[in-house]
Chain A
Amino acid sequence: MSTTYNVIGTRPIRHDGADKVTGRALYGADLQLARMIHGAVLRSPHAHARILRIDTSKAEALPGVFAVVTAADFPPAPADKIVDFGEGDTLLSSLRGNILASGKVLYSGHAVAAVAAVNAHVAAEAAALIEVDYEPLPCVLTAPEAMAPGAPILHENLPNGNVAELIRYEMGDLAAGFAEATVIVERELDTATVHQGYIEPQNATAFWSSDGRIHIWCSTQGSFVARDASAAVLDVPVSQVKVTPMEIGGGFGGKINVYLEPVAAMLSKKAGRPVKLVMSRRDVFTGTGPTPGSRVRVKIGVNDAGKITAAQAWLAYEAGAYPGAMVGPGAMTVFACYDIENVLIEGFDVVVNKPSTSAYRAPGAPNSALATETVLDEIAEKLGIDPLELRLRNAAKEGTRRADGPRYKRIGCIEVLEAMKASPQYNAPLPGPNCGRGVAIGFWFNAGLPSSATLSVNADGTVNLIEGSTDIGGSRTSLSMQAAEVLGLRAEDIHPTIVDTDSVGYTGVTGGSRTTFATGLAVHDAAQMVVEQMKARAARLWAVDEVSFSNGTFSANGQSLTFAQLAAQLGATGGPVSCSATVNPKGVGGSIAGLIIDVKVDPETGKTDVLRVTSVQDAGKAIHPAYVEGQMQGGTAQGIGWALNEEYFMDADGDMRNGSYLDYRMPTALDLPMIETIIVEVPNPGHPFGVRGVGEANIVPPLAAVANALYRATGKRLNRVPMNPATILGL
């Protein structure tokens, strides 16, 4: 493996930059089609209610209305059919029930019916004319309440009340481990439901043509997953559906699931026209998948040497209306940064009357890391040792076994901790009273999954890259750079295009921090095939057997041609060169991230000012360092918002009272300092350039780092996130 690169590690301008900054880039809401009409979705005002009757006659009679659909228009879902979302599976019946409620509504905001009309205003008016009779039922809004005896039951068919799944990982001898400990700390911490907070609302436009083919344009993290899920809900073969991914205004895991796509398709089938659906911000908060609220209890014992002897965790995550709370990854990551012999982890996936949760950046991991990393902070204080030193004494390394089974290959935990210790911030004094510094680390697995790419050589020496990965964080460029590196070209010589599901091989979601890794591998492999074919052309041209290629130049026997010179002669040497590769990589490298945060708390108001932040992460190899830094800063900003102010503020009836960006308090640019970044590079042996995914691990440490900083600033260990001004004052 070469360690010096021409393109990798540089910071070229992104290929889609001009389109994005000039407003020319087309998002789903921008789409206009001939004869297109507009839809509106009617949502439940109740968190839990039986649907007694739906009468759509008045809506259908309103002039300008083309179609009305309810759950009754959709094919029934077989009880046990699974839909594969790449980052997680879902029961088709759950997906289908979430798209339009049938029998019962399970959360306030649950879609009940939809209308298509000549314009969005008529559609909204028609939706309001749909009469729904509800029999309200008692609702349950938190995991501990939903697990209690006598709680209202959401699904009659779950075997354990509202508990959809139990997880148990056990390793070593827990009792013996705790018996060896000289210090044991146990804490229980709650987190509130929070939303990914992407800027662009969900949208979908669909046309169900009279020959049965369905074309969907939407904002999605994975066009093939949107295709497969829509086909499953509509009960049509996948080949009958084509999904064209539009530009995406953020997803963070929340745009893997489908909400509007099948509804727009069914409205189109009935109306005979293309139908566009766009969510309002309130629809996004109440009708899409946030990340679970949780209760996590962690107990850790250490000996006098600061070595963890035993660790125990109990996790209950709120799945929302349907099973699937990401408690699995929460359980697998809770002690993932540490080498511990004796472990017991129990996890509970609990349904509650809130929106059905979905993935959010390292889903499940920040909730559990909050407990582990604050308990370790307390232990470090009790032992009188530096909190980073305590972590270093227990850091996971190559060969460490996680309680859920896997043994790590090369992993950068020690390197990240050393970088944190050596960072300018960690060695700078705090500016004065009421200030505190907190640290924490976190782990995320990252994903592999299939990806495809096609490279075709243009006669002018440039190369077209055809791929199917939604570009959320600059992946057009990070993929082009990997092709350019192999082909000896500049990043600008590669022209990336993201195409529809009929036009490229199967590609999994842009999620699990996998695109630069897995689609990058497909691009790398396709580029190597291009090199081999180009070598063969040069060999034919020069009538030699062996051609070498380096730094963009083909040569043999003293003759040489640059890539562009040879590209101009392809027509005369056998025709165009184009190569495709599809990969399903297994060599995924997990990533460790760490955070150092300095805060100042106003003792009279409880307001926290974030003074300084350093994010440290193992990128394996940073293909485009600016985009790696952007991921680290983005995950850190989201994690700090989660820690300090964000939450679904529900009333007792389960209605969200702050479903707007005015009152759902995400941090703005004025609330955070410039986030300093330190990229650590411990190459992943499973990727030709050493890439590890970088999109997610960075959101794992902030909750705990903020909690630890607040403790140092105020002397209080709070047990609930968000740690907002009122809770800091205990008011």
Chain B
Amino acid sequence: MKAFDYAAPASLPEAVGLLASQPSARLLAGGTDLLVQLRSGRKEADVVIDVKKIPELNEIAFSPAGGLTIGAAVPCYRLTADASIQSHYPALVEVASWIGGTQIQGRASLGGNLCNSAPSADSIPLLIALGASALIAGPAGSRSVPVEDFCTAPGRNQLAPGELLVSIQIPPPAPFSGAAYLRFIPRNEMDIAVVGAGAAVTLSNGVIAGARIALSSVAPTPLYVPAAGESLVNQMPTAEALETAAKIAQEAASPISDMRGSAAYRRHLCAVMVRRALELAVARALEIN
């Protein structure tokens, strides 16, 4: 790893100003991806800007009307310990507890998971299912991007030079709604998803009023499959309906073969994991409300 300059701005305007003068700077939140990439030589940096000292990036805010705002640098351990997230977004607590081990969760953030833009990112399918958006600040002001549009290729995303992620915003949970993210790994912990599936459903009088489904590790980016969720609208949450949605998601996947699993195995798992995530989301929609 070669030497680099380090800056830690204390405000958003200061960070935006620094980034304007150093557009190739690497942004550091928890560093659980960046430092590993720098050490292994996969990335290089001349300047690293630490965003952990910016107040907006450390905020967790929830209101029943406005939903949840998670600052881009909020570490996972704060999400799992937050009472409002525990009661309104239980699936988010699960995901935050699956990213790395306990020590990693002390530093790793959902914002970092999103900006690292790995096809296998555990938090992104759930954020997509929950209808989350990414609030971005830059020289031209702020803008908001739906999470499903944020990643553009492995390790690449919508952030233009000079821009940084401020927060992730998640709409308030609708009545009779539930969400889940499930991943398949051959071990029980500390692994990268062979396939991950995020699902959110909203019921109305026992009928599915809305559903969103997304996958990880089966395409160049985390994959939102609108048609899978739409197939469930106005359906009873029967095994057959969930299976149909799972097959639609499976059809949308374009997995590769690598050391974590063959394309055929991944395609097989898509249907299994989506169906199981939907079953759990439906169960939560019924039990919470």
Q: Which residue of A lies closest to B263 (CB)?
A: A731
A sample of 13 more A-B contacts (CB under 8 A), given A725-B184, A726-B262, is A605-B184, A644-B186, A649-B259, A657-B259, A658-B259, A662-B190, A663-B192, A663-B259, A665-B191, A729-B265, A729-B268, A731-B264, A731-B265
Query: In chain A, residues 370-410, which have Cβ atoms closer than 8 Å to a Cβ of chain B?
Result: none
A103-111, A555-563, A615-623, A666-674: which lies at the B interface? A666-674
A673: min CB distance to chain B, Å? 11
Query: In chain A, residues 103-128, which have Cβ atoms closer than 8 Å to a Cβ of chain B?
Result: 121, 124-125
Contact of A670 among B187, B260, B262 (CB under 8 A): B187
Find out whether the CB atom of A607 lies under 8 angstroms from the CB atom of B2. no
Residue A304 interfacial (CB < 8 Å): no
Residue A425 interfacial (CB < 8 Å): no
Residue B272 interfacial (CB < 8 Å): yes
Find out whether the CB atom of A605 lies under 8 angstroms from the CB atom of B188. no
A649 vs B262: C-alpha distance when bound (angstroms): 12
User: Interface 1/0s, chain A 516-546, versus B by CB < 8 A?
Assistant: 0000000000000000000000000000000
A665 vs B192: C-alpha distance when bound (angstroms): 10
Residue A454 interfacial (CB < 8 Å): no
Q: Which residue of A lies closest to B39 (CB)?
A: A280
A645 vs B189: C-alpha distance when bound (angstroms): 14
User: Interface 1/0s, chain A 708-731, versus B by CB < 8 A?
Assistant: 000000000000000011100101
Q: Which residues of A contact B184 (CB under 8 A)?
A: 605, 607, 725
Residue B140 interfacial (CB < 8 Å): no
A374 vs B3: C-alpha distance when bound (angstroms): 55
From known contacts A657-B258, A663-B259, A726-B262, infer whether A731 and B268 are also in contact, taking CB-CB under 8 Å: yes
Residue B269 interfacial (CB < 8 Å): yes
Residue A89 interfacial (CB < 8 Å): no
Find out whether the CB atom of A665 lies under 8 angstroms from the CB atom of B186. yes
User: Interface 1/0s, chain B 230-269, versus A by CB < 8 A?
Assistant: 0000000000000000000000000000111110110011
- Residue contacts A-B, CB under 8 angstroms, 14 given: A125-B2, A605-B184, A657-B258, A657-B259, A662-B190, A663-B192, A663-B260, A665-B191, A668-B189, A670-B190, A725-B265, A726-B261, A726-B265, A729-B268
Contact of A662 among B188, B192, B265, B272 (CB under 8 A): B192
A725 vs B272: C-alpha distance when bound (angstroms): 14
A290: min CB distance to chain B, Å? 16
Find out whether the CB atom of B191 lies under 8 angstroms from the CB atom of A605. no
Find out whether the CB atom of B262 lies under 8 angstroms from the CB atom of A731. yes
User: Interface 1/0s, chain B 176-188, versus A by CB < 8 A?
Assistant: 0000000010111
B91: min CB distance to chain A, Å? 20
Residue B83 interfacial (CB < 8 Å): no
Contact of A668 among B188, B265, B272 (CB under 8 A): B188
Find out whether the CB atom of B188 lies under 8 angstroms from the CB atom of A671. yes
Find out whether the CB atom of A605 lies under 8 angstroms from the CB atom of B269. yes
Residue B145 interfacial (CB < 8 Å): no
Q: Which residue of A lies closest to B271 (CB)?
A: A604
Find out whether the CB atom of A670 lies under 8 angstroms from the CB atom of B189. yes
Q: Which residues of B contact A724 (CB under 8 A)?
A: 186
Q: Which residue of A lies closest to B268 (CB)?
A: A731
Q: Which residues of A contact B272 (CB under 8 A)?
A: 604-605
A726 vs B186: C-alpha distance when bound (angstroms): 9
A663 vs B192: C-alpha distance when bound (angstroms): 8
Query: In chain A, residues 675-731, which have Cβ atoms closer than 8 Å to a Cβ of chain B?
Result: 724-726, 729, 731
A657 vs B265: C-alpha distance when bound (angstroms): 18
B213: min CB distance to chain A, Å? 18
Q: Which residue of B lies closest to A128 (CB)?
A: B41
- How many chain B residues touch A (Cβ–Cβ < 8 Å)? 21
A724 vs B261: C-alpha distance when bound (angstroms): 10
A188 vs B77: C-alpha distance when bound (angstroms): 49
Find out whether the CB atom of B192 lies under 8 angstroms from the CB atom of A607. no
Q: Which residues of B contact A671 (CB under 8 A)?
A: 187-189
A125 vs B262: C-alpha distance when bound (angstroms): 36
A532: min CB distance to chain B, Å? 55
Q: Which residues of B contact A645 (CB under 8 A)?
A: 186-187
Residue B1 interfacial (CB < 8 Å): yes
Query: In chain B, residues 88-107, which have Cβ atoms closer than 8 Å to a Cβ of chain A?
Result: none
A341: min CB distance to chain B, Å? 43
From known contacts A604-B272, A662-B192, A731-B264, infer whether A667 and B187 are also in contact, taking CB-CB under 8 Å: yes
Residues of B within 8 A of A (CB): 1-3, 184, 186-192, 258-262, 264-265, 268-269, 272
A726 vs B257: C-alpha distance when bound (angstroms): 12
Interface Cβ pair total, 8 Å cutoff: 52
Q: Which residue of A lies closest to B189 (CB)?
A: A670
Q: Which residue of A lies closest to B188 (CB)?
A: A670
Q: Which residue of A lies closest to B1 (CB)?
A: A121
A591 vs B14: C-alpha distance when bound (angstroms): 69
B279: min CB distance to chain A, Å? 12
Q: Which residue of B lies closest to A609 (CB)?
A: B188
Q: Which residue of B lies closest to A607 (CB)?
A: B186
Q: Which residue of B lies closest to A648 (CB)?
A: B259
Q: Which residues of B contact A670 (CB under 8 A)?
A: 187-190
A124 vs B40: C-alpha distance when bound (angstroms): 11
A121 vs B3: C-alpha distance when bound (angstroms): 9
Q: Which residues of A contact B269 (CB under 8 A)?
A: 605
User: Interface 1/0s, chain A 483-496, versus B by CB < 8 A?
Assistant: 00000000000000
Task: Among A121, A645, A649, A726, find the residue whose CB has the most chain B CB atoms closer than 10 A.
Answer: A726
Q: Which residues of A contact B3 (CB under 8 A)?
A: 121
A280: min CB distance to chain B, Å? 8
B196: min CB distance to chain A, Å? 13
Give the top 9 A-B pairs by smallest Cβ distance, nearest first: A649-B259, A731-B265, A726-B265, A658-B259, A670-B188, A657-B259, A670-B189, A604-B272, A731-B264
Task: Among A605, A645, A657, find the residue whose CB has the most chain B CB atoms closer than 10 A.
Answer: A605
A101 vs B119: C-alpha distance when bound (angstroms): 38
Q: Which residues of B contact A644 (CB under 8 A)?
A: 186
Q: Which residues of B contact A725 (CB under 8 A)?
A: 184, 186, 265
A644 vs B189: C-alpha distance when bound (angstroms): 15
Q: Which residues of B contact A124 (CB under 8 A)?
A: 1
Q: Which residues of A contact B191 (CB under 8 A)?
A: 662, 665
Q: Which residues of B contact A663 (CB under 8 A)?
A: 192, 259-260
Find out whether the CB atom of A121 lies under 8 angstroms from the CB atom of B2. yes
B137: min CB distance to chain A, Å? 32
Q: Which residues of B contact A665 (CB under 8 A)?
A: 186-187, 191
Q: Which residues of A contact B192 (CB under 8 A)?
A: 662-663
A671 vs B187: C-alpha distance when bound (angstroms): 6
A657 vs B260: C-alpha distance when bound (angstroms): 10
A644 vs B187: C-alpha distance when bound (angstroms): 10
Q: Which residues of A contact B186 (CB under 8 A)?
A: 607, 644-645, 665, 724-725
Find out whether the CB atom of B259 lies under 8 angstroms from the CB atom of A668. no
User: Interface 1/0s, chain A 150-172, versus B by CB < 8 A?
Assistant: 00000000000000000000000
Q: Which residues of A contact B189 (CB under 8 A)?
A: 668, 670-671
A731 vs B186: C-alpha distance when bound (angstroms): 14
Q: Which residues of A contact B260 (CB under 8 A)?
A: 663
A236 vs B258: C-alpha distance when bound (angstroms): 47
A201 vs B117: C-alpha distance when bound (angstroms): 31
B172: min CB distance to chain A, Å? 34
Q: Which residue of B lies closest to A122 (CB)?
A: B2
A604 vs B272: C-alpha distance when bound (angstroms): 7
Query: In chain A, residues 583-630, which have Cβ atoms closer than 8 Å to a Cβ of chain B?
Result: 604-605, 607
B109: min CB distance to chain A, Å? 19
A607 vs B183: C-alpha distance when bound (angstroms): 12
Q: Which residue of B lies closest to A658 (CB)?
A: B259
A662 vs B32: C-alpha distance when bound (angstroms): 13
Q: Which residues of A contact B1 (CB under 8 A)?
A: 121, 124
A605 vs B187: C-alpha distance when bound (angstroms): 12
Q: Which residue of A lies closest to B267 (CB)?
A: A731
A604 vs B2: C-alpha distance when bound (angstroms): 47
Q: Which residues of A contact B2 (CB under 8 A)?
A: 121, 125
Query: In chain A, residues 167-218, which have Cβ atoms closer than 8 Å to a Cβ of chain B?
Result: none
A729 vs B1: C-alpha distance when bound (angstroms): 42
A226: min CB distance to chain B, Å? 29
A605 vs B261: C-alpha distance when bound (angstroms): 12
A649 vs B186: C-alpha distance when bound (angstroms): 15
